[in-house]
Structure 1
Amino acid sequence: MSTLSGTDVRTDDSYVAGMERLVDAVRDLAGARGLDDVVEIVRHAAREIAAADGATFVLRDNGRCHYVDEDAIAPLWSGHKFPIEQCISGWAMLNAQQVVVPDIYADDRIPHDAYRPTFVKSLVMTPVRAAEPVAAIGVYWASNHEATATERRLLQALADSTAVAMENVRVLAELEERRAFEARKREEWLQACLHITRNLLDGTASDPLPGIAEQARRVAGADTTHVLRLTSDGAEIEVAAAAGDLAIQRPGEQYPLGKTYSGLVIETGQPVRIDNAQTQSRGAVAHSLVSAPIGPLLVVPMIAAGRTRGTMVMARQAGEQTFDEIDVDQATAFANHAAIALEFADARQALDELALREERDRIARDLHDDVVQRLFAAGMSLQALLGTLGDGPGADRLDRSIVDIEKTVAGIRSAIYRMRTPLGLGAAGLRDRVLEVLGEVTPLLSAAPAVRFEGALDVMADPDLVDDVVTVLREALTNVAKHAKASHTWVEISYVPAAGELVVEVTDDGVGLGNPDRRSGTANLAERARRRGGTCVFTSPAPGSEAGTSLRWAVPVA
């Protein structure tokens, strides 16, 4: 017999058996992968180490004691929860002390009524973790028994090993949760990339940038995302798309690269993550794009084919969680994928423009080789016929028809010239603006005006001059529609290099405008010409004449 204390008397064999069982339990706890594993190991090991009639594992659960599971000769409280202040396991955890009770009915801390239906006469309750216990291990005897010091130490050692195992399980669970979280985010970024690719391949997105911005905002958990494209000269960035309720939409607005995060990202080719952009001097542009104070900021480059196309700027409101490493890595990969998508979109647009260009060339050839030649031949035939007629109304009408054919041919030639103008040249130039006005006013007229362009009109770079021409043409055609009662209208816009003049002529076959000097609109046209050093001349028919009205507005052009 080995004497450990006045009441601590065990055989060497039982002590060795207890230690061996503890070692086995510690080894098993080291491999536990979850809380269920810990409970399963501890409830059996505790009973065997203490040679007890029952053991239970109690978990601290929001102010209650949860008797998770047990190993006992008869049922105890498995699955039940009790207020922490009303049970002995709660006392052990609240006081962070091991409790030894030789006689449960002699201890006022025990709720006797709860124990009467059970076999329990004695117990030891050991808290798990010395500071702020998170659980307790209880062992019970069916007869009065005072636990020896060895039994208490072995149970305490088991509780300490259990605390380590539970911490390992918690850390492991966090790691698994983090891995699952990162896997979900990677999957979401991948799906976002696939979404963009599908839209580009099936042609559903004419402009992919808004979709790219929204996908990045959603997956990154940002409040706003802006796509900024590098301008052609590489000196500025331009707002191309925005997403998010707080995003300020400023498409086309440009900013210098200097002292911006986008400039830094484009210069280095590396992403920039800012925890609090409010304290950073480079955040001025980012702040101007969001309608609320921003804190965390993530700016990533959009790189494809070895060149930077722009940046993607993701922002969260002040006080929100910063972007993490997975956001940085995946957003960078997504931005590069988006840049490749833009390259693809540009290539596709180039192919579409090439196809359109070829179709325009075909139509222009058909018009020139077939329609124009037929009209020219018809005009020549009518001209020959006119020579056989004498003077009279019939000859006059035939002469006007020949003039109409000549103007029609001139109009077709202008259309051919426009079709052969490179796509995108003068997209908002004089010809386009004139055609827009004709499209607006034509529904008011008896027939669409015949239009003829002559000279290098597409190089007219003065926007004020173009505005004046558009205003003159709109006013003249509106007057024809309101007052002239004309069947036909002819419009000619020409640049005469020899005279250095831009000339707008509008002619109709109507009854005239009355006295043009009394109309404020025509007076405005004359004033516009006068301010530019030009002239504005109205010619109205005499009463009963079929000569119609003509307007000639001419201004000098450098």
Structure 2
Amino acid sequence: MGVTTRPTSGDPAAAGEDGRPDAVLHAVSSAVLAVTRHLSVREVLQVIVRSAGRLLDARYAALGVPDDDGSFAEFVAEGLSDRQWEAIGPLPRQHGMLAAMLGDATPVRLPDIRRDPRFEWWPSAHPVLKDFLGVPIRDGDQVLGIIFLANKRSPGGFTRHDEELLTLFAAHAAIALTNARLYERNRELTVVEERTRVARELHDAVTQKLFSLRLTAQAAAALVETDPPRARAELDRVRGLAGEALAELRAVIVELRPADLDRHGLAETLRKQVAVLDRLHPVSITFDAGPLGDLQPETEVTVLRVAQEALHNALRHADASAIHLRLTAGGTGVRLDVRDDGRGFPADAPPSRGLGLVSMRERAEATGGSLTLRSSPGAGTTVSLEVPA
């Protein structure tokens, strides 16, 4: 998956080809830094593949993560278009050289993979591979993944020096991949703990208020015909209970408010997050904001979460070179626009999975706002949020 990436004259991989220790160190250092600055496991896998291909000037690069059944749980590749990848078909299973490396997990370097007795076949849409280098990514005795490179662009195929260089890179990649897995696991545990706490808060406070409100409303309905004064008194109590329940809900929402919002405010929190993402990604990410005035805590949380989700989507799915966020206030509301110059999609066929659109719309509607999505093929996408101030 992804597109073919060709090294330029200033590429670290090209610098390492002359074999000088300083050039090799620079090449490996650049590749390792590109991996370690990512926290998502999927992103780490993709950057490992891209960095390994650049490091050794390979036309094709792939990385397989073993599962418990002796096959691949995940498989990412570089050097293929999305269309080529779809034509190849499902994830590779157990056969040929891939199966051999899953079973043995030792480095393999071949001048022509097709002449090796372990080679069997590949799908008709698969690119033709010749020179081949495969190296495991290890954490002790555990194999975290296997890097496959093929078709070195410079003549002569992969050398012993290339094998040593990729083995060194794989050792550092193992650390980055392990850290990413630990980060995701910790984040999942944090989310579970937070959900449990919120559920307990809602049960102990809001749920009891709502239960009392329901009983009081039933009593008022029963008294409407026989005792109107008492019915009015019960309805007044319903109004009071509803107000208390609303206050409890708002308290829970404010408690879930990110700490940065209290320290820096909405605009500065977004500015800091955009600056961090701009440093970590090759995409140009910019942000500007006008005066916002005083905002309700729920409004600030909604805008921040929608901005984070829209940014995440653009970085992962848009294939954009630039993303711009703009935050403005006007009239009685606040408007957020997240615009990218990526591939876009037809207006009548928005993406149906993975973009968190339902979650963003629900957040907008919960604060009385609205979310719109504008896009067209080749012209990028704009996510716009409008909420009352």
Between structure 1 and structure 2, the one with the greater Rg is 1
| TM-score normalised per structure 2 | 0.49
